[in-house]
Amino acid sequence: MYDVLRLAEQFEIDGFKFYTSKKNEVKNKTVAEIFDYLAQMEKEHTEFIRRLIKSLKQGAQIEALPEQDTKYYKSRFEGQKIAETTPEDDIADLSVLRMAYLIEKDFMEFYEKAAGNEKDERVKKLLLVLRDWEEGHKRIIEEEIKSIIERNNLELGFYPF
C-alpha cells in the first residue's frame, strides 16, 4: 500500500509542477486560471497523501476522505468563456490542454487499476476517491478544449479525447 501511495504522491507533485510551469506559457487567461486552480488541487492532493502516509505509519486508520467539488470552479469561471486570444494562441493552448488532459487521464487510470488490485476495502475506497478527483480535473480540461474548438469553429467532427 505504501508503494502505491508514494507513487501517487509523486504523480501529484509532477502534476503540480506541470500546471505551475504551463500556466505561464499559455496565452488564454481562462486556461492560465484553470492551470492555477489545478496546480493548487494537485498541491492539496500531495499534502493529503503525505498526511495519510504519515498517519498510517503511526498505526492510525485511514482518515475521513475530503470531498472535492468542482462546482466552485464552474461558478467562478462560468462567465469567462470568451477569451481575448487569437485563434493561433487558442490552437497553441489547445496543444497544452491536450497534454494536461492526458496527464489527468493517466492519473485516473492509475488509481482505477490500483484500486482494482487492492484487497483492503479502505485503501480501495481511498484510491477510488483519488480517481474521482482526477476525473473532475479531466472534465474541466475537456470543457475548455471543447470551448476552444467551438469558439474557433474547428470542424473536426469529433473532440480529440
12: in domain: yes
In a domain, 101, yes or no: yes
Residue 135 lies in a domain: yes
Helix spans in 23-157 (H): 29-57, 71-77, 87-117, 121-151
- Give the range of the structural domain holding residue 88, as residue numbers without chain letter: 2-60+74-151
CATH code of 22's domain: 1.20.1260.10
Determine the distance from the C-alpha atom of residue 40 to the mean position of all C-alpha atoms in its chain, rounded to a whole number.
10
- Return the pLDDT at 116: 95
pLDDT of 2 reads 74
Q: What residues in the chain have per-residue pLDDT under 50?
A: 72-73, 79
Q: How many domains does the chain have?
A: 1
Q: Cell numbers for 97, please give them.
A: 490542454
- Is residue 69 included in any domain, yes or no? no
From 144, 118, 145, select the one nearest 129 (Cα to Cα).
118
Residue 156: predicted pLDDT: 63
pLDDT given at position 72: 46
**pTM for this one?**
0.80
**Grid cell listed for 117:** 488490485
For 6-21, write each residue's pLDDT tens digit: 999 999 999 999 999 9
Residue 145 domain-assigned (yes or no): yes
